[in-house]
Every structure is written in C-alpha cells, then in structure tokens.
Homo-oligomer: A and B are copies of this chain.
C-alpha cells in the first residue's frame, strides 16, 4: 500500500501505473507533475491523478513513492531537481528503457542516501499511443517489469517496488543494470534500428513508389516498429549506444552469413538456415500467431 504516489510524467506510463494501483486499492493519493501544464491538467481531468503539482518539489512533498515516467532526456534535469527536494522517506523508481544511463545520472545528482532509495526499473509494455488519454489500468497486466536494483538498495525497498508492480499485474524480474541494457539492445533496440533502416533503405530506392505499392502484410508487420517515436529512439540510441553498436555488428555478421549461403547457391544450407530460425521463432510464439487454430498453420504469411 502506497499512501501518496508522486508521478513525474503523467502520460501513458505514469498514468497507467496510477490507474492500475487505484483499481487495486493499492494507493491513497496520486499527485502528478508534467512539464507541460496541459498534460497535467489533462491527467487530472481523466482521473489519473488526484492533484496536479506545479513543480517537481510540490509533487514529491509528502510522497512515499516517486515514479519517474518522463522521457529519458528529461531525467537528468528531474534528478537534479529531486536531489534538493526528495523527502527522506521516499522511494524512487523509474520507467526508462535504458538503465545504465539513468543510473549514471542518478549517481551524478543524488546523495548516497538518496541513491540507496532509487530502485531502477523498466516496464516492458507495448504502447500503441502516448499521453494521458492512452493510460489504462491494465497496461501492465501480464507484462514483464525488469527491476535493476543497485548494490546500494536495501532488500526491503526493492521488495516494496516489486510489490507495487505486482499489484498492477506485472511479472517482475530482476537483472543487473548492464545485463538489462545488453539484453534489451538485442531484443528491442536492434530490431527497432533494423526496422527503421529497412524503411529508409526502401525509401531510397528509385522504385520507391512501386516498392511500397506492392508491400503486403509481412512488410507491414516487419516495419510496424519503424512508426515508433523518433525522439525516444534517438535517446535510446544515444543512451545505450555501445550495446546497440555491438548488436548492429553482430546482426551485420549474420546478414553476411546468410548472404554467403545465397551467393554460393547452397540450397541445403539455406533451407536449414531458415528452418532453424523458424523453429526458434515458433517455439517463442507457439500457437497464438496461427490465428484461428487450424492445423498446419504457422505464422502468416508463408510467402508473398
């Protein structure tokens, strides 16, 4: 149970946590601050927060948990402000997609006692929309939240943040900071970079018009993540640069490997290559993708 939750950032991520906690009766009051007045008023009107605050200091006064749900770019300024106004008893956690860079900023700005009360986290939830109006009480239900506790954290504090996420239905896991950034570079950052690059590569073709005209369902699925927010992805690329660069190199090596099989017309090896990848992918998503459950149905489309 949280008596007073302070949201710094009252959009989808912060607002959904507040709604979820409220739906479970797991929070008393929610106070929210967003840089833009319009956003915090909208969050109040939509019932995400009980009370808008005009500053970070006002928002966190009397809070027992502070959730940083701003874009990662804003975190530096917010952490600097927090250092001067954080109540002694407040726990802090965040929702940033990259953890190393956030922790570095926290170490730069917070005192050692404040830092000990910062339990970094990353809710892995798909986000179709952004802003307060997109917030829902069940955004995190069934989704993973990765906590990356610091050596300085007290086990009870980590357990409390874990319980908060569990209250909204999330499956909480723990990784260390570097491992989180490495795994997410592979699983999320690299695919996003590859999708953005795919759309750019095709847009650069002279036959751009025909290319997109004849794109089918597979292309649509493949490039969906290239519709993601450019500012957020700029920040992720800057904040997790080294890991993503490593993954890009790893991916390029893999493309070269496939290219070689094709160049050498090695049908047997190509079939094995595709079958191995398909086996991995089908094991990850066993049934759900086959739609109506008719037998013989792997994912769509088999070919276009």
CA distance A214 to B38 in the complex (A): 34
CB nearest to A264 among chain B residues: B241
CA distance A285 to B128 in the complex (A): 14
Does A85 belong to the interface (CB within 8 Å)? no
Select the residue from A220, A254, A265, A301 with max chain B CB neighbours within 10 A.
A301
Chain B interface: which of A56-64, A86-94, A113-121, A192-200?
Answer: A192-200
Does A36 belong to the interface (CB within 8 Å)? no
CA distance A254 to B200 in the complex (A): 7
Assess the B218–A221 pair: CB atoms within 8 A.
Answer: no
A77 — which chain B residues lie within 8 A by C-beta?
none
Which chain A residues (248-304) contact chain B, with CB distance < 8 Å?
248-259, 262-263, 265, 267, 270-278, 280-282, 284-285, 289-292, 294-304
Does A74 belong to the interface (CB within 8 Å)? no
A155 — which chain B residues lie within 8 A by C-beta?
none
Assess the A289–B97 pair: CB atoms within 8 A.
Answer: no
CA distance A252 to B146 in the complex (A): 32
Number of A residues with CB within 8 Å of any CB on chain B: 116
CA distance A272 to B188 in the complex (A): 20
What is the minimal beta-carbon distance from A195 to any residue of chain B, in angstroms?
Answer: 6
A273 — which chain B residues lie within 8 A by C-beta?
196, 200, 230
CB nearest to A301 among chain B residues: B126
Assess the A251–B216 pair: CB atoms within 8 A.
Answer: no
Assess the B187–A212 pair: CB atoms within 8 A.
Answer: yes
CA distance A191 to B284 in the complex (A): 20
Indicate with 1 or 0, residue by residue over A169-211, a CB within 8 angstroms of chain B CB atoms: 0000101000100111011101111111111111111010011
A205 — which chain B residues lie within 8 A by C-beta?
186, 250
CB nearest to A300 among chain B residues: B128
Does A231 belong to the interface (CB within 8 Å)? yes
Contact surface of A with B, Cβ cutoff 8 Å:
97, 124-131, 133-134, 143-144, 146, 173, 175, 179, 182-184, 186-188, 190-205, 207, 210-212, 214-234, 236-238, 241, 244-245, 247-259, 262-263, 265, 267, 270-278, 280-282, 284-285, 289-292, 294-304
- 21 A-B interface contacts by CB (under 8 A): A125-B301, A125-B304, A128-B301, A129-B291, A129-B300, A133-B295, A183-B210, A186-B207, A188-B304, A191-B219, A191-B223, A197-B254, A200-B257, A200-B280, A201-B251, A201-B254, A215-B284, A218-B228, A230-B274, A234-B271, A238-B265
